[in-house]
C-alpha cells in the first residue's frame, strides 16, 4: 500500500482538522498514513521568528482563525476560540507520539491532543492533560511518559525535525510521498492523488 507521511506540529492550528480527517480520507482511497510529529519552533527560529507567523503578522492570524472556523464548521469539528494560548508548546506531546510509534495508537493520541488544544482549551504541555489522554486510550501514563523521556526518544524527535528540514518542510501540516512535498491541510487531496499515481 502506498504511504503518505503526515508531518504535523502539536501547536499548529491547521494541523488539527488535517489530523482529525486524514485516516478517514486516506483509508477510503487505499492509502496508508505514517504519523510524523516534528517541531516547528527550531524551523521558525532559523527564519528569525521567535513566535508563530500568525502572531507576528496579525492580518495572517486574523485570517487563519476565521478560516479555521469555516473549515471546522464544514467538517463538523468542535472548535473553541480563543484557544488557551497560541501556539502551545507541543514538545512533550511530540515526544509521546514518537514513543507510541509502532504501537498503532499514535493517530488516536494525536487526535485527542489536538482536540484538547483547539476544542477544549486545555494545556497540552501539562503532564496531567497528557496522562488523562493516555488513560482514555487505555495506555499506562507512567510507562509511556518514561519511554517519551528517554535520551533515545528525545534524540529521535530531534532527528525527525532535522529530517523535516532536509525534506524542505517549512510549515504544518505537510505531506510527503517520497520526495514530493505538499503543504497545507487543503492539499491532502492532492497528496493522496499523487500517492496513487
In the region spanning residues 127 to 166, those forming contacts with a copy of itself, defined by CB under 8 A, are 165
Residue 67 interacting with a copy of itself (CB under 8 A)? yes
Q: CA–CA separation, 185 vs 148, rounded Å?
A: 27
Cell readout for 173 is 501540516
Specify the residue, 22 or 188, whose C-beta has the smaller distance to a copy of itself: 188
In the region spanning residues 46 to 65, those forming contacts with a copy of itself, defined by CB under 8 A, are 47, 57, 59-60, 62-63
Range list of β-strands (E), 55-121: none
Among 42, 78, 128, 168, binds a copy of itself (CB under 8 A): 168
3-state secondary structure of 5: strand
Residue 21 interacting with a copy of itself (CB under 8 A)? no
Q: Minimum CB separation from a copy of itself for residue 16, in Å? A: 18
Q: How many angstroms separate the Cα of 144 from the Cα of each of 11, 124, 151?
A: 21, 16, 14
Residue among 106, 163, 164, 116 at smallest CA distance from 137 = 106
Cell readout for 59 is 492580518
Q: Which residue is associated with the grid cell 523535516? A: 164
Rounded to 5°, angle at Cα 33 from 67 and 166: 80
Residue 80 interacting with a copy of itself (CB under 8 A)? no
Stretch that binds a copy of itself, among 6-14, 18-26, 145-153, 186-194 (CB under 8 A): 186-194
Specify the residue, 42 or 128, whose C-beta has the smaller distance to a copy of itself: 42
Specify the residue, 34 or 60, whose C-beta has the smaller distance to a copy of itself: 60
Contacting residues for 11 by C-beta, under 8 A, at least 6 apart: 40, 52, 86, 87, 88, 89, 90, 117
Residue 169 interacting with a copy of itself (CB under 8 A)? yes
Among 125, 183, 192, 195, binds a copy of itself (CB under 8 A): 183
Q: Minimum CB separation from a copy of itself for residue 74, in Å? A: 9
Q: Which residues bind a copy of itself (CB under 8 A)?
A: 47, 57, 59-60, 62-63, 66-67, 70, 165, 168-170, 181-184, 186-187, 190
Amino acid at each position: 500500500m502506498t504511504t503518505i507521511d503526515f508531518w504535523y506540529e502539536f501547536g499548529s492550528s491547521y494541523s488539527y482538522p488535517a489530523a482529525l480527517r486524514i485516516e478517514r480520507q486516506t483509508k477510503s482511497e487505499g492509502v496508508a498514513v505514517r504519523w510524523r510529529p516534528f517541531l516547528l519552533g527550531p524551523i521558525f527560529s532559523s527564519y528569525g521568528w521567535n513566535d508563530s507567523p500568525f502572531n507576528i503578522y496579525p492580518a495572517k492570524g486574523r485570517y487563519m482563525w476565521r478560516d479555521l472556523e469555516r473549515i471546522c464548521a464544514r467538517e463538523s469539528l468542535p472548535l473553541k476560540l480563543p484557544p488557551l494560548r497560541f501556539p502551545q508548546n507541543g514538545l512533550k506531546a511530540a515526544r509521546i507520539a514518537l514513543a507510541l510509534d509502532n504501537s498503532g495508537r499514535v493517530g488516536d493520541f494525536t487526535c485527542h491532543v489536538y482536540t484538547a488544544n483547539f476544542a477544549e482549551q486545555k494545556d497540552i504541555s501539562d503532564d496531567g492533560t497528557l496522562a488523562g489522554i493516555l488513560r482514555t486510550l487505555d495506555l499506562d501514563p507512567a510507562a509511556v511518559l518514561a519511554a517519551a523521556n528517554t535520551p533515545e526518544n528525545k534524540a529521535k524527535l530531534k532527528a525527525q525535525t532535522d529530517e523535516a528540514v532536509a525534506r524542505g518542510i517549512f510549515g504544518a501540516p505537510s505531506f510527503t510521498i517520497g520526495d514530493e512535498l505538499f503543504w497545507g491541510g487543503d492539499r491532502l487531496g492532492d497528496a493522496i492523488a499523487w500517492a496513487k499515481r
